[in-house]
Structure 1
Amino acid sequence: MAELGPASPLPPVQPLLEPPYTVGNGIPEEIADGSRWGHAKNIFPYQLQDAYSRETSPTELTAVVLENEHLKATFLPQLGGRLWQLRDKNAGKELLHTGNRIQFANLALRNAWFAGGIEWNIGTRGHSPTTCSPLHTAIVHAPDGQEVLRMWEFDRLREVVFQIDAWLPADSKVLFTAVRIRNPNDRAVPMYWWSNAAIPLTPETRVIAPAARAYATGYDGSMTVVAPTDFHGTDATWPARNPHAADFFFDLAPNQRRWEVAMDDAGDGLALVSSPRLRGRKLFVWGENPGGHRWQDWLTPSGGGPSASGQGSDNSPGSESTVPRQYAEIQSGLAQTQFEHVSMPAGESWQWVEAYGNAALDPAIGGGDWDSAVSHGAERVEALVSAGGVDAALDDAARWADLPPSEFVVAGNGWGALERSRRRAAKLDWIDEAGTPFAQETLTAAQAPWLELLQANEGIVEKPFEPSASEAASQPFGGAASFVRGLDWEDLLTAGRNESAEAAFHHAVMVHARADSTKSKDMETVAGLYRRTLAKVGLSPASRALAHRGLGVALLSAAGTGGTAGKADFAAGTEGGAAGGVAELVAGCAAQPDNRWLLVEAMTLAIAHGAPGEALALVGRAPESLAGVGRVKFLGALAHARRGNPGEAARMLRAGLEVADLREGENSITALWQEVCPGEDVPERYQFGMH
């Protein structure tokens, strides 16, 4: 696998990139309403995971295997609890798409993501903040002798706790997973959950769900009602027939049993079945075009097995060969589509069961007309796992949910333990941890400064960090490399006895993260906090660099707010406006010249705000190790083009460059090639177009 690398030190205060979808005629008001609210402002306090490369090496991971005479399921708890493999031993087939290596790419909310298996997504639209992080993992022994794999974590975005219980009864042909989400807050929170399964793709693969219509999105900004069997003249239920990337959210009737199946030329394939709460069903396809093929090769560099034609793929660096079809995805979620959030009431606990196995359809019937295929699929799903069987599994899950773990396998992060301490200090409700303990031993240096801040101000003493309250109180807040959010944290940081340059910096960051970047008044407040921080004595070099960066981002946000009240006066000053914002970003890079994250962001924003010369100056002053980073090289080429030197940009592109963290749907390299190399075909290695 690739090495994930360290998390970005930059607090993610900028808005999430959300494509503006146009809701077409026929879209139910429920979906339209659900898509308008609940979106997370940003992913703060999580930090980006974007320091990976395209180099892979043998890496040891902890795996948990559940196996009986019918199935073998392999989980990777250190990587978001991913169900990495599910093998049908009777048919001799792997039901999930997996490669022989794990390569990270920029598709998740925190950037890093990898293809294959079944992943669990919580919080807001996108691949989960925990998809490339360890989950707390243990084995639970139920009173009836059933062994249960349990994985759990505290989601810092919605401030809820989720757990995944997985078990495989001795004679079962399906693997059961039970998901429980608990909202300990005194307010309703927007909730999002989707379980995404990657399935092997051949020309004969078909996906069936009990619906006559679907809500389709094609990465072009629109959502429309379609017949999945007649999408622009194509039967889209055969994934390999789709020319472009697309999502199809099947419109299952409220009283319809929740299922979706994939089948190959022999009728074998994954069945995704659930209890009613998991309402949505989706098919995702990459599309049969150079961009779709390139993305699949990018995500599964080994090719994931033979191509559809039976030939292997040349995956050497810079290869221009035709990339084979590799995988599609079938998914299930809480809402009808992935553009919606559902409201989870205060103090509520939700639980549902998912079942995975081989539906083993008759290929002659399953491949027939849609109504016949759906009818046959329903029969095979019922034979595989009946509705009563799913209900019984849900009852089992409810009985087991709070059983204490018997054997711990992997430790997650310490943020759950810190959250418990925070809530105790603030006298707020918290969950019953009997079945999902957040042990103090999971606290690390990332949480230590924040726990010490609580101890100093609330008298809380919990191992392993336990300075005396009087000793800690005599020391002002010393800073942290991690981030937290919440008004109670802000109150602690601004209390007189904690006031310090580091406390002022973190307070400015917290206000920035919750501010509205489209309102000049908010950005003016944020800019003032950063300026006061920079005026203080005792700020560490790293925090000083990030304070300059925060001030620069705030100034640029304010400069781009159009006619917002107060913007003109704010941006007109010598310390404001786009020029002032870029100058602050440059100052941040000067304060910490070896920080690749500062360099990339400063170059990106300088070019975007009409200062390509500043971007070139930045890379000219950067250490050689940073100048060679693929993203930096691309930004350098882009800056040359924007400064009127397309020849140098063309030379750099022709020489070859690779941007490891290219964003899903990002066509920047293709666009630059077409600009500086007019009339020349775009090399396949640069073709990542999604539509």
Structure 2
Amino acid sequence: MTIPTLRREPLHLPAAHLGEESLLPVPDGLLEAPFELGDDLPVELQEGAQIGPPRSVHPYLLQDGYDRNRHPAELDSLVLDNGILQARFLPGMGGRLWSLVDLATGRDLVYANSCVQPANLALRNAWVAGGVEWNLGTKGHSVHTMAPLHAARVEGPDGAPRLRMWELDRIRRVVFQIDAWLPAGGRGLHVYVRIENPNDEAVPMYWWSNAAVEQRPDLRVLAPTRRAYATGYDGTVGEVPVPVAEHGDHTWPAASPRAADYFYALHGQQQPWVAGVDGTGHGLVIASTARLHGRKLFCWGNGPGGRHWQQWLSPDGGEYVELQAGLTSTQFEHVMMPGGASWDWVEVYADVAADPDLAHSQDWDVAVAHVADQVAALAPPERLTETLSAARALADQAPEQLLAAGSGWGALEREVRRQTGERWIDESSRPFPASTLGSEQHPWHRLLTEPGTDPFADADPALPPSSYVCGPPWVELLHQVPPGWLRDYHLGVLAHARGDLQTARDHLHTSRGHRRTAWAARAEARVAAEQGEPALAVDLLTEAVRLAPTQPHLLLEAMSAALAADRPELALELFDAAPVASRRTGRVRLLEGTAALRTGDRARAEAVLASDLVIPDLREGERSLSDLWHDVFGAEPVPARYDFRMA
């Protein structure tokens, strides 16, 4: 029997450069729009949907600096291998499981994208299709999905090395941990997940593991249920039967006429699972202990928009669907996690190795019963319970070797909690080394550890601040610093992030009194817009553009505000006065075309659309390109390159 190993190995792929983070904070939303839940849905689902998501992703900054130019790249990867399976993880991309290969056949159980092409599907914008990603904290593709995690090697009691990854979630102020291993002789990848809430108060919690698998005409998705909650891109959710609903048998995703989510009702089962089985009987199954009871199928559908999205996310070829597992029945819910609580579970990713005739039986009950037997053989429920207990006992074991570094925010969080007396985790198993404190944390660390000093005294007002914080301790610490443009700016952003608009307005106005900066003008404009003063927001953003003319994000926001205030002429003036580099970006060109059409300059709008406009960060569900086309050309068919419509 092969002894399992864990090694570092470079992964060579064409990749688009992620680019720099936007340094403009977003304390006032950008989270996904809520769906309309029907009154006929279960009470627990309705109640879970009322548990509020955070106001915004603040203090995280947007990752929107990428393009669609891919070049040869070397990515750091960590590989588990037991001679049967090989699991490759990317610690620099949220700890994503990139591939899970059956070494005997060379078959990948997950869809491994042939390139790294970010697109705008995550809470912070950038997201990549493929593999298995880990989503924590709030609805949507996680703030960590394109950010580095800490990683280390831990020696398992059976001699099988474990890959441990962990990080602080700054929105919920919780720590999550992922331990992955391939048992000797085992046919499945085991993943132990632990979330620890060190806060005294309960926090809303969310977790979904999202696995991409290759979409094939003969792929069938099965789960042990007769009911699902289905969504579409019309903003509604309703209960549908499984396997056949209004649009036919939706367990064959390649035949779906539209993009859709199917959340399978599995609550109360000892061993929840979902599987994708192709015509050979092989495919991925995700089984788990009972806490992770949610299961979902997502497919892009075979409409023009869905096919375009597949090409957009996998430009070098390949199509996929997603099999997902979560803490709740649907992704519209959060569940309250008590203060001081620690939640954990085990997930198993394996080849279902089913009889294709039985798994594809027209009798749904026969198909499900057969696959359930295969799952039980792969991961017997009683053995999974034992695995969870053993993984829990190992969860606090100190790592042998650090393999990758995440952010420095966990180290700063530890120092904050030492100052305030707040509870913190035992770091022996998940260390946040002081060496990870970097330039983003430096002024905040000084503010915390050097009372009486002003870490903002030498800040250059021509440059945007590099990082942000959130929470009451920082408000108190900032009030101990002498008044100044940056201190008051940060107080304003903090107030805006917690929804205290008038306090935010006062601080930002004071900041601008100390020194007129583009950053405070822009921040006050966002507050004014939220308070229903669009004209003032336009004036403030125009000032911000004048103060920092080379910042393309400010141009975007100013033009958008001008259009929202029905001032398309001003939007064009801003565009025409901007540097050439700012005018070249796809989204700015889109606004140019929109503004031109509204001023009656149809020829200019046509010229924009004729330029093969590319918007690298087009948002999932966004119809701005096709809408502008219809506004300019009426009933003329939308070209495929502009058609991202999901409904």
Q: What does the per-residue CA deviation read over 1:42-99, in whole Å, with 9 as the maximum and x for residues that have no partner?
A: 0000000001000011111111111122211100010000000001223431111122
1:616 alignment partner, one of 568, 572, 577: 572
Deviation at 1:678, TM superposition (A): 1.4
> Counterpart of 1:685?
641
Give yes or no for contact 1:142–1:403 (8 Å, CA) kept in 2.
no
2:380 pairs with 1:386: yes
Q: Is the 8 A contact 1:139 1:407 kept in 2?
A: yes
Partner of 1:362: 355
CA distance in 2, matches of 1:233, 1:421: 55
**TM-score, normalization by structure 2:** 0.95
Distance in structure 2 (CA, Å) of the matches to 1:144 and 1:76: 25
- Alignment partner of 1:195: what SS? strand
User: Is residue 495–residue 501 contact of structure 2 (8 Å, CA) maintained in 1?
Assistant: no
C-alpha contact 1:286 1:328 (8 A) present in aligned 2: yes
Corresponding position of 2:118 = 104
Of the three residues 608, 625, 634, the one matched with 1:669 is 625
- Residue by residue, what CA displacement relative to the aligned partner does 1:225-260 show, whole Å, maximum 9, x if unpaired? 101322214100100111011100001141352111
Contact 2:492–2:503 (CA under 8 A) maintained in structure 1:
no
Residue by residue over 1:157-212, the C-alpha shift from the partner in whole angstroms, topping out at 9 and shown as x without a partner, is: 11100010000011000000000000000100000000000010011111000010
* Structure 1 residues 386 and 597: CA distance shift in structure 2, 3 A: same
Q: Which residue of 2 aligns with 1:416?
A: 410
RMSD: 1.5
Deviation at 1:599, TM superposition (A): 1.3
Return the alpha-carbon distance in structure 2 between the equivalents of residues 680 and 628 of structure 1.
26
What CA distance in whole angstroms lies between the structure 2 residues aligned with 1:18 and 1:99? 25
Query: Per-residue CA shift, 1:498-529, capped at 9, x if unaligned?
Result: 432211111111101111xxxxxx43432222
Whole-Å separation in 1 of the counterparts to 2:470 and 2:197: 17
Deviations 1:653-680 (A, max 9, x none): 0221100000000011001101101131
State the partner residue of 2:243: 229
Match of 1:503 in 2: 487
Alpha-carbon distance change, 528 to 284 in structure 1, aligned in 2, over 3 angstroms: same
Residue 444 of structure 2 aligns to which amino acid in structure 1? W
Instruction: Quote the residue 1:460 is aligned against.
Output: none
Where do 5+ consecutive residues of structure 2 fail to align? Answer: 1-14
1:97-116 C-alpha deviation (Å, 9 max, x unpaired) = 12211100000000000000
Equivalent residue runs for 1:328-339 within 5 Å: 328-339=321-332
Q: Mark the CA change 1:217 to 1:475 in structure 2 (over 3 Å): closer, same or farther.
A: closer
What secondary structure sits across from 2:274 in the alignment?
strand
**Deviation of the 1:120 alpha carbon:** 0.1
Give the structure with the larger strand fraction: 2
- In structure 1, the residue matched to 2:274 is 260
> CA contact under 8 A between 1:217 and 1:248: conserved in structure 2?
yes
Q: Which of 626, 642, 661 is 2:598 aligned to? A: 642
SS at match of 1:128: coil
Residue 475 of structure 1: how far off its partner (Å): 7.8
Aligned to 1:427: 421
The 8 Å contact of residues 453 and 477 in structure 1, kept in 2 or not, is answered as no
- Unaligned stretches of 5+ in structure 1? 305-325, 458-469, 516-521, 560-576
1:552 to 516, 522, 525: 525
For 2:12, the equivalent position in structure 1 comes to none
Distance change (3 Å), C-alpha of 1:510 and 1:477: farther
Distance 1:293 1:160, change over 3 A: same
- Number of aligned positions between the proteins: 628
Bigger shift: 647-656 or 38-47? 647-656
Corresponding residue of 1:184: 198
Structure-2 residue corresponding to 1:315: none
Q: Distance in 2 between matches of 1:32 and 1:184?
A: 28
Q: Is 2:365 the partner of 1:371?
A: yes
Question: 1:579 offset after TM fit, Å?
Answer: 1.5
1: distance between equivalents of 2:261 and 2:328?
Answer: 14
Q: How far did 1:616 drift?
A: 1.1
Matches within 5 A, 1:237-276: 237-276=251-290
Alignment-derived partner of residue 163 in structure 2? 149
Cα distance, 1:473 vs structure 2: 6.1
Q: Distance in 2 between matches of 1:140 and 1:173?
A: 21
- Equivalent position of 1:526 in the other structure: 504
- Determine the structure 2 residue equivalent to 1:437: 431
Q: Which residue of 1 aligns with 2:587?
A: 631
> 1:5-47 CA distances to partner (integer Å, 9 max, x unpaired)?
1111111112234333222243101001111122110000000
Q: Is the contact made by 2:51 and 2:335 (CA closer than 8 Å) also made in structure 1? A: no
Q: From 78, 89, 104, give the equivalent of 1:90.
A: 104
Which residue pairs with 1:404 in the alignment?
398
Asked if 1:653 is matched to 2:609, the reply is yes
1:101–1:302: 8 Å Cα contact kept in structure 2? yes
Deviation at 1:478, TM superposition (A): 4.8
Match of 2:185 in 1: 171
CA distance in 2, matches of 1:270, 1:228: 20
Query: Any conservation in 2 of the 1:206–1:263 contact (CA below 8 Å)?
Result: yes
Per the alignment, residue 316 of structure 1 pairs with none
- Answering whether residue 357 of structure 2 is matched by residue 340 of structure 1, we say no
Structure 2 match to 1:22: 36
Which one-letter code corresponds to 2:493 in the other structure?
Answer: V
User: 5 Å matches for 1:238-317?
Assistant: 238-304=252-318
> Aligned to 2:153, which of 139, 142, 145?
139
**Structure 2: distance between partners of 1:339 and 1:139:** 35
How far is 1:531 from its partner?
1.0
Asked if the contact 1:492–1:498 (Cα under 8 Å) also holds between the matched residues in 2, the reply is no
Q: Deviations over 1:303-324 (max 9, x none)?
A: 13xxxxxxxxxxxxxxxxxxxx
Partner Cα distance (2:110, 2:629) in 1: 36
* Match for residue 487 of structure 1 among 440, 455, 472: 472
Q: Secondary structure at the match of 1:49?
A: coil
In structure 1, how many angstroms separate the alpha carbons of the residues matched to 2:161 and 2:537? 57
Say which SS state the counterpart of residue 94 (structure 2) adopts: coil
The CA deviation string for residues 622-676 of structure 1, in whole angstroms up to 9 with x for no partner, is 1111111111111111111122223321221022110000000001100110110
Give the partner amino acid of 1:509: V
- Alpha-carbon distance in structure 2 between the residues aligned to 1:635 and 1:17: 22
TM-score (structure 1 length as normaliser):
0.89
SS of the residue corresponding to residue 635 of structure 2 reads coil
Tell me the SS of whatever aligns to 2:229. Answer: strand
Picking from 554, 559, 573, the partner of 1:603 is 559
Measured in 1, the distance between the counterparts of 2:455 and 2:264 equals: 60
Q: Distance in 2 between matches of 1:641 and 1:473?
A: 50
- The Cα of 1:477 is off from its aligned counterpart by 8.2
